Amino acid sequence: MRTDDGVSNLGSISLPLDTVGLLEGLATTRAIRHYRDEPVPVEALRAMLFAATRAPSGSNRQPFRFVVLTDGPAARAAKALIGDAARSFWRAKRDADGYETGSGEVDDSPKARMAQTMQVFVDNFHRVPALILPCLVRYRDPTPTEGASIYPACQNLLLAARALGYGGVFTGWHFGVERQLRDLIGIPDGTFMAGTITIGKPAGHHGPVRRRPMAELVHGERWGEAPDWAIDPPGTQFTAAGPRRGNPSATGDVK
């Protein structure tokens, strides 16, 4: 039974079925930045956040919290704030990383396509169907490992979105307007704001993610020596991004 505000009697309804196997989802969950102009139903949000809250955490303390913003006054204000910060950050990164020079001047180059994708994303940030702010309630002083109790939950959320035909992307653009967001939504100062996640129906599609070959990323009994079984399956697609094998910065050497 559906109530007037669009919320189902969810307590008696099972989670929706998905048609994406776990391993397939892991290998095909791309960063989705362009969305159809349609809301994310509460049934789908409920399933995604249920998956997120099943994530592991240190001592099972479950310090993760999620602020879910769709179309209310606070949601519109938060999207506008983060959108402004996103455009500022992207403008600086585009200039600093030379996105409009070299191969960036070739319209169909990977560099140019990424620049175009990012520009559309930040210009339309205020229109994202759902904005989720993952947070961590600290119960001790900050530690280098505290992210282990929030970031797995974020990945669970994105994988659940993939399983249900949605997509999203994790960013840190809230950092530029964190104080304003805390005041707007009432997030306590002792709570770590871990990032921003946008969710919606992809305007494009998911597909195989591109990474460097396993043999460059997996080590055996000695650093830099891949085990014999570190072989990518047929059809794997690769990228040239990231540290090259043999790069001193990839080995931890400081020079």
Cα–Cα distance between 24 and 56 in angstroms, integer?
A: 21
pLDDT at 250: 38
pLDDT more than 70, % of the chain: 91
- Could you say which DSSP state residue 139 is in? S
Tell me the per-residue pLDDT of 54-105, one tens digit each, with 9 for 90 and over. Answer: 999 999 999 999 999 999 999 999 999 999 999 999 999 999 999 888 888 8
Share of the chain above pLDDT 90, in %: 78
**Rounded to whole angstroms, how far apart are CA atoms 125 and 5?**
25
Lowest model confidence (mean pLDDT) among 95-99, 207-211, 226-230, 244-248: 244-248
Determine the residue type at 241: A
CA distance 83 to 122: 6
- The confidence score (pLDDT) of residue 80 equals 98
Indicate the Cα dihedral angle 60, 63, 64, 67, nearest 10°. Answer: 150
Which pLDDT score, from 0 to 100, does residue 239 have? 87
Contact indicator for 178, 128 with CB cutoff of 8 Å: no
Domain boundaries along the sequence of the chain: 15-200, 210-255
Residue 130 tokens read as 């759902």
| pLDDT greater than 60 at residue 39 | yes
What is the tens place of the pLDDT at every residue in 165-202?
999 999 999 999 999 999 999 999 999 999 999 999 99
CATH architecture for segment(s) 15-200: 3-Layer(aba) Sandwich (3.40)
Task: Report whether pLDDT(214) > 90.
Answer: yes
pLDDT confidence band for 13 (50 / 70 / 90) = confident
- What pLDDT does residue 246 have? 54
- pTM comes to 0.88
The pLDDT mean for the chain works out to 90
Q: How far apart are the first and last CA of the chain?
A: 65
